[in-house]
Amino acid sequence: MTSSLNLAIYMSALLDEAGEAGRAAVTLEEARASFSLFGKGLSEKYLQAKPLGDAPAILANPRRPFPFSNGREVYLPPYLDVFDSREENWRVFRLYTSVQAGQWEAGTFDRPRADEAAARHGRQAWMERKEPLAFLRFFLGSFPMPFLAADIFITLETARTATVMARCFGGLASDLAWFLARLGPNIEPVDYRSVLWNVFFDLLAPLAGNPAQRGYPREVMAAAETVADPGADLKHSLDATLAIYAILEPQLMASLVPEERTLLEGADDFFTDTMPGLRGNKATRFGREEEAEGIELVPPELAEALNLDFYSYLLPAGIGEFLMEDALGKKLAQDTAPDADRKVKATGKEKADVEEAGVEEHRLLYPEWDYLAGGYRRDWATLYGLRAEEGSAQAAKRLLAEWDDLVREVTRQFRMLRLQERTWRKRLEWGEEIDISEAVERQVALRCGLPPTEKVYMEKRRITREVSALFLLDLSASTSSEITEGGHTGETVLQVLVASVAIMARALEQLGDRYGIYGFSGYGRKRVEFLRIKSFDEPLGDAVWQRLGGLKPMKSTRMGTAVRHAHHLLNAELSSLKMMLLLSDGYPQDYDYGEDRTDREYGLRDTARALREAEAGHIIPFNVTVDAAGHDYLRRMCPPHGYLVLKSVEDLPAELPKVYLRLRGS
């Protein structure tokens, strides 16, 4: 039994499948990006917005007023159309995000320190896990009936969190009162979950302005009410969980029929899957009528654990931070050792190792940023430096010919720029130096009774710049897709990419900047392919045109590794201004780029980290994408002025020179 509104929220996604989205509806798809950011604003943590259906049932179900975050994700309705106005539906999203993000604010993920716990209780493994819920999983999983303990705890902790947030945020308090007034009233306490529902509402009664309506044992509220007090912390919720569990468990045992027990046992997987050594044993507990006596209703060590000091759960982070010698680090080190060429260094220093003449030039190991572990995976990706295969130089030049007007214009523009950078600006009304010839002219004019010019100054405003630019082409399989409209219909994305860098190459020859052209693709972390098309020292000759003509769409997009290698190449350049222009057609993606191949997060975070490393190395990275949906992920990968999303692939050849000049400060 639950509130009809709550049920409607959980059911609205299903209802949506039957019909069109209403005008007032809000979808997770449209709200996801901004609520992930909003959550970060509230909690300092980037919390991924996920649909309610993705949450384990123990964290989000229609029997509770709010979902419960695991510390890394916030769970939101995939579609919401339960209120008449869009603002109200949006308000529910905001409230859901606030209450879940508020768990960080309220200290839900605090835990005792591992060494103290180990010293006093011999429990350490769960303390060291780099997972926000690790301690709570241990704690709740240690109860004989973990699902009941979790239901109690989550109800109390959500009430505490909501109270903490409402005290701090006036707007949130009004959102909460508005929502609770519609979510209630209290429901008939037919089972322990409806009791907990009512406890939640009664704890928040002062906020919602509703009088408390009990309908459950007085001792339950006596144990629970401290969580709503100012200054209540996680220990209050855990203490209250212990007390309420002791009241509700006997009642539940008495009322459960075998089918319900089977159903509820499933919920315990949440605790036992990742915590195999837990004391809690549901089989023993459920079978206690037939089995042993003397099983503790509440394990005494849990109460003892609450005597320890709790600390904030800190996410390790920071540029240059590497995994410490913990379990994860050792595991990763073992995983990488066998296949990697140990002769090459992970620092990015090249070691000539030309085994397959003509193609492979070197092999390097690069680290990768694991945002879940909060550190780098050492020597994780193997990069193969290859010389690009040669094709027809004529094919590349033909591509260029199709953009003839643009080539001429850009080349002229760059040539002019070069001239401007080497000359004084004269005839200025204000400047550093007096231009003697203009000053003489002025004097002559004065003596002849003519109006004198005031433009007698000159200034050298710019000096010649030393610039190195590296163009990095995404050569993934998706670049084989064809353009379907416009003047270049039928050409592939790759052809336009090649034309764009070819135009830039022609123009840069005029300007005199140093530049290199490289491409990347690969398949899996053990083979990231980095193709040399033109190195910085190579002239724009036939060999380069042949390599441009021989480029083909390849495989995946392990972007972070490619960016790191480009960074390494630019590091060797002595120019004062170094730029890395990444031309891509989609988000970072590879089959093993993260635990789950469908999850973009790992690749995004790794690439973002690699770009930040480049920035820290005084390199300006800039990402130009022809993926119209690029805003969604580039805003998280790059600084706001560090990327450009083109509406049409065809715009790239014209836009790239503009981007280049802007970055160059010309």
Partner 1 sequence: MDMDDGTKVSREISYEEYVFCEEPFYIPVGDEVETFRAAYQASLPVNLKGPTGCGKTRFLEYVSWLLGKEGGFNLPLITVACHEDLTAGDLVGRYLLRGDETVWVDGPLTAAVKTGAICYLDEVVEARKDTMVLIHPLADHRRILPLEKKGGFIRAHPRFLLVVSYNPGYQSMLKDLKISTRQRFAAIDFSYPDRAVEARIIAGESGVAEAVAQQLALLGERARNLGEKELEEGPSTRLLIYAARLIGQGVEPRRACETAVVSAVSDDPVMQQAMRDLVAAVFP
CB of 397 to partner 1, least distance (A): 34
DSSP 8-state class, residue 44: S
Rounded (10°) CA dihedral 539, 543, 548, 549: 150
Tokens of 471: 């163009």
In whole angstroms, give the CA distance from residue 171 to residue 156: 22
Q: How far is the CB of 370 from partner 1 (least distance, A)?
A: 17
Q: Taking the complex as a whole, how short is the minimal distance between the CB of residue 100 and partner 1, in angstroms?
A: 13
- Measured CA to CA, the distance from residue 475 to residue 488 in angstroms comes to 19
Of the pair 36, 155, the CB lying nearest partner 1 is at 36
The total of other beta-carbon atoms located within 10 Å of residue 340's CB is 19
Q: Taking the CA of residue 357 as centre, how many other CA atoms within 13 Å lie in the half-sphere pointing to its CB? A: 0
Helix, strand or coil, per DSSP, at residue 311? strand
- Interface residues with partner 1 (CB under 8 A)? 33-35, 37-38, 40-44, 94, 97-98, 168-175, 431-434, 439, 442-443, 446, 456, 459, 461, 463, 577, 608, 612, 615-616, 618-620, 631, 635-641, 665
Cβ of residue 608: shortest distance to partner 1, in angstroms? 6
Nearer to partner 1, 23 or 447 (CB): 447
| Buried b or exposed e, range 299-319, using 16+ CB within 10 angstroms | beebeebeebebeebebeeee
CA-nearest of 104, 145, 111 to 244 is: 145
Residue with the two structure tokens 């050594």: 277
Q: How far is the CB of 640 from partner 1 (least distance, A)?
A: 5
Toward partner 1, which CB reaches closer, 19 or 640?
640
* CA angle centred on 14, ends 11 and 19, rounded to 5°: 120
Q: Compute the distance between CA of residue 225 and CA of residue 156 in angstroms, rounded to an integer.
A: 9
Instruction: State how far the Cα of 199 lies from the Cα of 213, in Å rounded to an integer.
Output: 9
Q: What is the CA radius of gyration of the chain?
A: 32
Q: Measured between alpha carbons, how far is 520 from 472 in angstroms, rounded to an integer?
A: 7
Residue 613 CB, shortest distance to partner 1, in Å, is 12
Give the shortest CB-43-to-partner 1 separation in angstroms.
Answer: 7
CB of 323 vs partner 1, minimal distance in Å: 22
Minimal distance, residue 467 CB to partner 1, in Å: 11
Nearer to partner 1, 618 or 658 (CB): 618
Q: Are 368 and 361 in contact (CB under 8 A)?
A: no
**Of 289, 597, 248, 529, which is closest to residue 387 (Cα–Cα)?**
529
Task: Dig out the tokens for 348 from the structure.
Answer: 């990015």
Nearer to partner 1, 94 or 568 (CB): 94
Nearer to partner 1 (CB atom), residue 461 or residue 597: 461
Select 93 or 143, whichever has its Cβ closest to partner 1. Answer: 93
- Residue 352 or 463: the one with the smaller Cβ distance to partner 1 is 463
Minimum distance of partner 1 from residue 203's CB (angstroms): 21
Return the number of other C-beta atoms located less than 10 Å from residue 454's C-beta.
Answer: 12
The residue among 49 and 544 lying less far from partner 1, judged by its C-beta, is 49
Phi, psi of 290 (to 5 degrees): -90, -20
Which residue, 170 or 276, has its beta carbon nearer to partner 1?
170
